[in-house]
Amino acid sequence: MGPGARFALWGGIVAAATGVALVGGAVRMQAPGLGWGVLGWGAAVAPGLTFGTWLARRHGTPGTGFVAALGAGILVRFVTVLGSLAWVLAEGAGAQRIWLAGVLAGYVPLQLFEVAWFVRRSRRLAAAR
């Protein structure tokens, strides 16, 4: 299994765990608008996994592929989150709060996983040289 597939597998596990925690917490607290939370979570997770996998495939290879993947990932994450925000703003404060919880639940753990994954991979590549 290559680095991209490993990243996608473990990143998917992290994303699934945060999604389950978001839904479980919203149901337990009887939060209205769970769909808005899932929208925010998905807007953060989908580009995070997609472009994180691309980054993992390009990491340690010559050329500009890693930088292109990094830039594209930042741009797409920005666009998807802002696009979903524009949609949820019309719904009111309750929808906005659960949307924000979804964005944070999707973005923060996956971003921490991504940073840890690349630090660990960089150390492995450096040790192999």
Residue 103 · residue 44 · CB < 8 Å: yes
Q: Is the pLDDT of residue 32 over 80?
A: no
Which structural domain, as residue segments, surrounds residue 32?
Answer: 3-128
pLDDT value at position 85? 92
pLDDT band at 52 (very low <50, low <70, confident <90, very high): very high
Total domain count, the chain:
1
Global pTM value: 0.86
Tens-digit pLDDT profile for residues 72-122 = 989 999 999 999 998 899 887 778 888 999 999 999 999 999 999 999 988
Burial class of 15 by CB neighbour count within 10 A (0 to 12, 13 to 18, 19+) = buried
